[in-house]
Structure 1
Amino acid sequence: MGLLSRASYVVRSKVNSLLNRAEDPTESLDYSYEQMRDELKDVERGLADLVAQKKRLEVQRERLQKNVEKHNEQAREAMRQDREDLARRALEKKQSKLASIEEMEEQISSLESTQSDLEEKKSQLQERIERFRTKKETMKARYEAAEAQNRVSEAMTGVGDEMADVGRAVERAEEKTDEMESRAAAMDELTERGVFEDKLSDEDAIDRELSQGRADREVEAELETLRAESESKSESGETSEASADADREASADASDVDESAVDESAVEAELEELREEEGGSESKA
């Protein structure tokens, strides 16, 4: 393949690819339908011209037929006047007109046959156009449904051109936002470190450090106070617990003493009763 042939092939392939991408099947179907309707109009115009031509021939044939009758009358009148020469001339014209009439009848017959064929083709073409119109509308509906389904699928999966643009826009927005957040964090850090001075404040870096030191001391003082309060509460709790233990032990000892005292007096009373019973029994003896 030569250089020019390769270049021509490449150009044709590129053009074909562009046409395929630019082609809309619904528009192609509508265009084909319009072309078929134009063909039907051409057939109808041709049929009308043919009928008009046939009508002209029929009018001429009728005129010739009238001339034939006229020439017959001329021939009869000439013979009544003993003018055979005029009668011959009238009959010759009659024959010429009859020949023309016969030729016209053949033409009219041919035109009628052509008219019949055109009318049949016109009817067939109308049926084809009607079938094509129905199929065209069906194909257009299917194509539009498939196109809508394809757009929805591309939107759901994010593979379409528009969704790809949206995805890139989101990525750029995220990158810009991250960059701005990082820059803001860096500015805050540099401001806290005193690298950048606050133009709206009279404090400088030394004032901020001193303020921070005072705040730290105040926090430490509050912590010491809390520690002291916690320790005092714990010591007082231990003292009260020890005194409570001592009270509980004293109460236990006292109860033990009382119980022992109660028990001995009861025993002495029972012994006294026994002694009295023994003494009474001896006196009776």
Structure 2
Amino acid sequence: MSNSNSQRVRTIFRAKTSKALDKIEDPRETLDDSYDQQVKLLQQVRRAVAEVATAKKRIELQGEEMGARYQRLGAQAGEALAQGREDLARAALERRAMLEGQVANLQQQYASLDRQTAQLQDRERRLTDQVAAFRIEKETIKATYTASEAQVKANEAVSGLSSSIEDIGSSLDRARDRVAQMQARAAATDELLASGALTDLTAAPDADIERQLAVISAQAEIERQLQALQQGGPAAAAPNAADGGWLGIGQGGAR
């Protein structure tokens, strides 16, 4: 294989490979996949915000219940002391003291969840803005790519048409030559049929004899008119109005 052929094969191979890669790595599909991943991440963040908010609400309800119990124990301690039951008052205050530790721990959890909720909500807002901005840019890039792809296809079509014009011209020239040859052949066969060299299968069985007799009669008529002219007579009677004018031309010899 020559160097030029090898170079041509390598060029064709690279072109086909590039086209295959372009088809596989369509940037529009890549952008859509990236957008879908960002939307999934945003959905995960929103679920996390909802879960943290739910946990925070449970702690809040639990804290409200413990606060109500704390108030109730204080009231019970005062009532027991008023009735001279110092032991009951002491027990109520001891439980109230234990409850204070539980409430303090619950308050720490609530404060931690409150900070976490604020962070997640801020992250959700920023991620929502990023996803919205990415979507606009994605659609813009996709539209630009689609328009560029259409332009490339149109240019390739025009280029292919331009490169094939020469072949089209050659095809038209060959078609014209074939038409001219066929016309010449038709004219030649007409002349052969008229001369009798070819047999006209569509003609009457005795058409050739009639044609030959017609030729002989025409020659005899010419000889007669020639003799009449040599003898000083008219070659044929001139047609008059009574004979039909020009309609009588060629009919004088039939009388």
Task: State TM-score, norm by structure 1.
Answer: 0.53
Partner Cα separation in structure 2 for residue 98 and residue 199 of structure 1: 128
Partner Cα separation in structure 1 for residue 159 and residue 206 of structure 2: 56
Return the match for 2:156 from 146, 154, 166.
154
Partner Cα separation in structure 1 for residue 65 and residue 150 of structure 2: 68
Aligned residues, how many? Answer: 195
Unaligned runs of 5+ in 2: 1-17, 220-255
1:68 aligned onto 2:70: yes
Corresponding position of 2:40: 38
Partner Cα separation in structure 2 for residue 152 and residue 59 of structure 1: 68
Of 60-69 and 43-52, deviating more is: 43-52
Higher helix share: 1
Of 78-87 and 192-201, deviating more is: 192-201
TM-superposed deviation, 1:62: 1.1
Secondary structure at the aligned position of 1:76 is classed as: helix
Partner Cα separation in structure 1 for residue 88 and residue 19 of structure 2: 83
Corresponding position of 2:87: 85
Corresponding position of 2:139: 137
State the one-letter code of the partner of 1:155. Answer: A
TM-superposed deviation, 1:113: 1.4
Corresponding position of 2:245: none
| Cα gap change, 1:18 to 1:149, in 2 (>3 Å) | closer
Q: Percent identity?
A: 31
For residues 207-253 of structure 1, the C-alpha deviation after alignment (integer angstroms, 9 at most, x for no partner) is: 8x979x99xx9xxxxxxxxxxxxxxxxxxxxxxxxxxxxxxxxxxxx
Secondary structure at the aligned position of 1:67 is classed as: helix
Secondary structure at the aligned position of 1:158 is classed as: helix
Say whether the 8 Å CA contact 1:40–1:125 is kept in structure 2: yes
Partner Cα separation in structure 2 for residue 87 and residue 197 of structure 1: 144
Secondary structure at the aligned position of 1:82 is classed as: coil
TM-superposed deviation, 1:31: 3.9
Corresponding position of 1:231: none
TM-superposed deviation, 1:182: 8.6
| Cα gap change, 1:204 to 1:80, in 2 (>3 Å) | farther
Partner Cα separation in structure 2 for residue 124 and residue 80 of structure 1: 59
TM-superposed deviation, 1:174: 6.2
| Cα gap change, 1:123 to 1:184, in 2 (>3 Å) | same
Partner Cα separation in structure 1 for residue 135 and residue 78 of structure 2: 66
TM-superposed deviation, 1:84: 3.0
Say whether the 8 Å CA contact 1:191–1:197 is kept in structure 2: no
Task: State TM-score, norm by structure 2.
Answer: 0.58
Partner Cα separation in structure 1 for residue 41 and residue 109 of structure 2: 26
Corresponding position of 2:123: 121
For residues 60-118 of structure 1, the C-alpha deviation after alignment (integer angstroms, 9 at most, x for no partner) is: 10110110111111112222223233223322322332222112111111111111211
State the one-letter code of the partner of 2:75. Answer: E
Secondary structure at the aligned position of 1:137 is classed as: helix
Partner Cα separation in structure 1 for residue 48 and residue 200 of structure 2: 94
For residues 123-160 of structure 1, the C-alpha deviation after alignment (integer angstroms, 9 at most, x for no partner) is: 2212222331232133123212311221221122117x
State the one-letter code of the partner of 2:61. Answer: V
The two structures, once aligned, show a CA RMSD in angstroms of 4.4
Larger Rg: 1
TM-superposed deviation, 1:23: 4.7
| Cα gap change, 1:89 to 1:22, in 2 (>3 Å) | same
| Cα gap change, 1:186 to 1:100, in 2 (>3 Å) | farther
| Cα gap change, 1:188 to 1:94, in 2 (>3 Å) | same
Partner Cα separation in structure 2 for residue 204 and residue 176 of structure 1: 42
Partner Cα separation in structure 2 for residue 41 and residue 154 of structure 1: 44
| Cα gap change, 1:80 to 1:152, in 2 (>3 Å) | same
Partner Cα separation in structure 2 for residue 120 and residue 153 of structure 1: 49
| Cα gap change, 1:46 to 1:204, in 2 (>3 Å) | farther
